[in-house]
Chains A and B, each alone.
Chain A
Amino acid sequence: MNLKNKNPIHFTIIFIIACIMLIVTFWISIVCGSADIDTSTILNAIFNYDPKDMNHNIIIDVRIPRDIGALLVGVALAVSGAGIQSVTRNSLADPSLIGLNSGAALMLALTYAVSPVISFPILILTGFIGAMAGGTMVLMIGRSRKDGFNPVRLILAGAAVSALLSAASQAIALYFRLNQSLIFWSSGGVSGTTWQQLYIGIPVVAIVVIIFILLSGQLSILNLGESVAKGLGQNVKIIRAGTMLLSMLLAGISVAIVGQIAFVGLMVPHISRFLVGTDYKKVIPLTAVLGGCLVVGADTVARMMGEAPVSAIISFIGVPYFLYLIKKGGRTI
């Protein structure tokens, strides 16, 4: 276990640098695109919106919602990953690897099968329920009877449950002929984000992340081990269950917005812990900022490569990182 908790100034500097990085990435992301739009037009679009100007419309209706969507998904997935990693004490956990994403996708497929026109709040709700179902299955089976969450078991259970749930989604898609929309769910892209989604997505993600920050002290205690946490008077069960629920909610929202993206929740908490140590009071905010940065950046790269899926771009960094983690043998936090 890594206990190097560095001093507060160190954290502040890193956090500020991360925030600056996020702002810069976000700005680049708004500027870059197939339509060439200069900076003054963008500022004009934001501060004096003119509905008749085509460029203003592109900025306000396409690019900004898309970037905020990417940001939101990055924050949600990264914080969700941090939560899951702390509960399972397993550094290889990720919302997609433990069945949250495929569970959410299955529920969304079912929802679309019932009715193709569904309001976004209901999508979030069903995504959440699906993530909960998938995650609970994986955790129940992956938890071996003796030693808590063994990473290999957890990942294996995750792979099998994901295979099962994806097969079920595919079967539903075939049965109800929704294949086109399902390819979208499985490959992940933020290009279709609308303001309506954001009006609901932003407050939910913000509230959950704030709760996470409030809980972070408890997570740090939990991280010391179950017996220590109990000794310090923590109600381990409630903290664990609560953290899992919040993580599932975040995963559900992000699937409802973009489809399935893997490895964000795996990588970002690692990078944060590497930078600021294991104190979750520092890890959670930094994870949120870096997660947003990663997905916004990846989305920009994806757009410049002619609308490649974001998930592919992230896998490109995420898989080598995953292999490196295994090679290093970093099993437990």
Chain B
Amino acid sequence: MINSRLKRKQIIVCFVLAVLLFLAVTWSITSGEYKMDLTAYLKTLIGQGEFKDNLILMEFRMPRMLITLFAGMALSMSGAVIQSITKNPLADPGILGINAGGGFAIAVFIVIGQVNPNTFIYVLPLISAAGGILTALLIFLFSYNKGKGISPANMVLIGVGLSTALSGGSITMMRKFNEDQAEFIAAWLAGNIWGDEWPFVFAFLPWILIIIPFLFFKSNSLNIINTNDQTAKSLGVNLDKERLILLIVSVILSSVAVAMVGSIGFIGLMGPHIAKSFVGPRHQLFLPIALLTGAFLLVVADTIGQMVLPIGTIPAGIVVAIIGAPYFLYLMYKTNSI
């Protein structure tokens, strides 16, 4: 049923984005303290590189790059689903306070557990996910009105309120931390990509491999949920159940990403919007593009953050916010419906 012209357009856009993404990755990986030239990079990539290049690429740069790519994809997908569920084009895990919830849970964990977060990388995604899900449920609970269902407007308001409170709470707990822990949370809140070793990649990968295909599989449900409730009901979709499952799954996805890269907002907003501007609102069409766009945006933001300062880096989250917030405001200015 999908218009073949659109389908062709989707494939072309996907291809172009994949090329752009590869270029961005190359740019990001070859720049830095140790400049790697292009042929050395390509050689190392296919396993023909020198020992030194191999070490730098495989041990230091590649894991971090993979984490960045996964996180960009996860955040963008999660944003797309949350936008469809809430029927709010301006929803985003960051704006809704889900990131802040994950951060708060991590801060609580550090305080109560008294652990060095580096040794608990496999637990961290779970904790962040738990915090994110609790926050999402809280938002759902408060925005649910008997008889009227969920009010998207209230959801946004409650999310903003909770997000203010939760990040305040995390900062409060920082005072109880020692210097290392405080620095970790501060960097985390700013959205510093800190997971840069292979174990992080392996901790992240299963979530990506399970949840993203699941969401693709649910494209049709998402299409229906995104229309009005009457249509959905007459098509026989159990709305509330589907909605809840999709919400929880997408919150898990973004919380896990956030656990690895820190509180990064606006990717979940920009990715889907840019994708929809190419191929329209059908999920089968725009989700793959959103996936690639999200990864591309985060890689570029991270690389810019690493290159701007002569010494040290600006966390990717800050770069994303500086690009993303004006985009958000522009979208808001354009849409009169919200």
B124 interface contact, C-beta 8 A: no
A194 interface contact, C-beta 8 A: no
User: In the complex the two chains form, is A152's CB within 8 Å of B153's CB?
Assistant: yes
Task: Tell me which residues across on chain A come within 8 A of B325, comparing CB atoms.
Answer: 160-161, 163-164, 167
Task: Tell me which residues across on chain A come within 8 A of B47, comparing CB atoms.
Answer: none
Task: Tell me which residues across on chain B come within 8 A of A312, comparing CB atoms.
Answer: 168-169, 171-172
User: In the complex the two chains form, is B309's CB within 8 Å of A92's CB?
Assistant: no
Task: Tell me which residues across on chain A come within 8 A of B164, comparing CB atoms.
Answer: 96-97, 262, 315, 319
- The secondary-structure label for the interface of chain B is helix
A323 interface contact, C-beta 8 A: yes
B329 interface contact, C-beta 8 A: yes
User: In the complex the two chains form, is A164's CB within 8 Å of B321's CB?
Assistant: yes
Which stretch from B5-13, B155-163, B241-249 is at the chain A interface? B155-163
Complex: how many Å from CA A319 to CA B159?
11
Partner pick for A171 among B161, B186, B318, CB 8 A cutoff:
B318
Which one of A137, A145, A174, A187 has the greatest number of beta carbons of chain B within 10 Å? A174
Complex: how many Å from CA A32 to CA B301?
49
User: In the complex the two chains form, is A167's CB within 8 Å of B322's CB?
Assistant: yes
**Least Cβ–Cβ distance between B312 and chain A, in angstroms:** 7
User: In the complex the two chains form, is A141's CB within 8 Å of B332's CB?
Assistant: yes
Partner pick for B322 among A168, A179, A187, CB 8 A cutoff:
A168
Complex: how many Å from CA A186 to CA B170?
12
User: In the complex the two chains form, is B329's CB within 8 Å of A326's CB?
Assistant: no
Complex: how many Å from CA A94 to CA B171?
20
Complex: how many Å from CA A163 to CA B264?
11
B149-186, CB under 8 A of A: which get 1 and which 0?
00001101110111111001101101100000000001
Task: Tell me which residues across on chain B come within 8 A of A323, comparing CB atoms.
Answer: 142, 158, 161
A211 interface contact, C-beta 8 A: no
User: In the complex the two chains form, is A159's CB within 8 Å of B95's CB?
Assistant: yes
User: In the complex the two chains form, is B186's CB within 8 Å of A187's CB?
Assistant: no
Task: Tell me which residues across on chain B come within 8 A of A158, comparing CB atoms.
Answer: 160
Task: Tell me which residues across on chain A come within 8 A of B195, comparing CB atoms.
Answer: none
A146 interface contact, C-beta 8 A: yes
With known contacts A159-B163, A322-B161, A309–B336 Cβ distance under 8 A: no
Task: Tell me which residues across on chain B come within 8 A of A170, comparing CB atoms.
Answer: 190, 315, 318
B292 interface contact, C-beta 8 A: no
A307 interface contact, C-beta 8 A: yes
Partner pick for A307 among B165, B175, B333, CB 8 A cutoff:
B175
Task: Tell me which residues across on chain A come within 8 A of B321, comparing CB atoms.
Answer: 163-164, 166-167
Complex: how many Å from CA A155 to CA B160?
8
The count of residues in chain B whose C-beta lies closer than 8 Å to any C-beta of chain A is 43
Task: Tell me which residues across on chain B come within 8 A of A303, comparing CB atoms.
Answer: none
With known contacts A146-B336, A160-B95, A319–B165 Cβ distance under 8 A: yes
Complex: how many Å from CA A157 to CA B142?
21
Complex: how many Å from CA A56 to CA B94?
49
User: In the complex the two chains form, is B160's CB within 8 Å of A159's CB?
Assistant: yes
User: In the complex the two chains form, is A308's CB within 8 Å of B326's CB?
Assistant: no
**Least Cβ–Cβ distance between A172 and chain B, in angstroms:** 10
Complex: how many Å from CA A167 to CA B165?
18
Complex: chain A residue closest to B321, CB-CB:
A167
Task: Tell me which residues across on chain A come within 8 A of B336, comparing CB atoms.
Answer: 144-146
A175 interface contact, C-beta 8 A: yes
Task: Tell me which residues across on chain A come within 8 A of B266, comparing CB atoms.
Answer: 163
A183 interface contact, C-beta 8 A: yes
Partner pick for A152 among B142, B157, B190, B326, CB 8 A cutoff:
B157
Complex: how many Å from CA A141 to CA B331?
10
Partner pick for A155 among B143, B157, B190, CB 8 A cutoff:
B157
**Least Cβ–Cβ distance between A182 and chain B, in angstroms:** 9
Partner pick for A311 among B94, B154, B168, CB 8 A cutoff:
B168
With known contacts A174-B312, A322-B161, A315–B332 Cβ distance under 8 A: no
B314 interface contact, C-beta 8 A: yes
User: In the complex the two chains form, is B175's CB within 8 Å of A309's CB?
Assistant: yes
User: In the complex the two chains form, is B172's CB within 8 Å of A163's CB?
Assistant: no
A19 interface contact, C-beta 8 A: no
Task: Tell me which residues across on chain B come within 8 A of A144, comparing CB atoms.
Answer: 336
Task: Tell me which residues across on chain A come within 8 A of B326, comparing CB atoms.
Answer: 164
Complex: how many Å from CA A308 to CA B176?
9
**Least Cβ–Cβ distance between A136 and chain B, in angstroms:** 13
**Least Cβ–Cβ distance between A127 and chain B, in angstroms:** 20
User: In the complex the two chains form, is B332's CB within 8 Å of A171's CB?
Assistant: no
Task: Tell me which residues across on chain B come within 8 A of A97, comparing CB atoms.
Answer: 160, 164
Complex: chain B residue closest to A151, CB-CB:
B157
Task: Tell me which residues across on chain A come within 8 A of B312, comparing CB atoms.
Answer: 174
Task: Tell me which residues across on chain A come within 8 A of B143, comparing CB atoms.
Answer: 326
Binding site for B on A (CB under 8 A): 92, 96-97, 137, 141, 144-146, 150-153, 155-161, 163-164, 166-168, 170-171, 174-175, 179, 183, 186-187, 262, 307-309, 311-312, 315, 318-319, 322-323, 326-327
A-B contact pairs, 14 of them (CB 8 A): A97-B160, A141-B333, A150-B338, A152-B156, A155-B160, A159-B95, A160-B95, A163-B95, A174-B314, A187-B175, A309-B171, A309-B172, A311-B168, A319-B165
Binding site for A on B (CB under 8 A): 90, 94-95, 142-143, 153-154, 156-158, 160-165, 168-169, 171-172, 174-175, 186, 190, 265-266, 309, 312, 314-315, 317-318, 321-322, 324-326, 328-329, 332-333, 336, 338
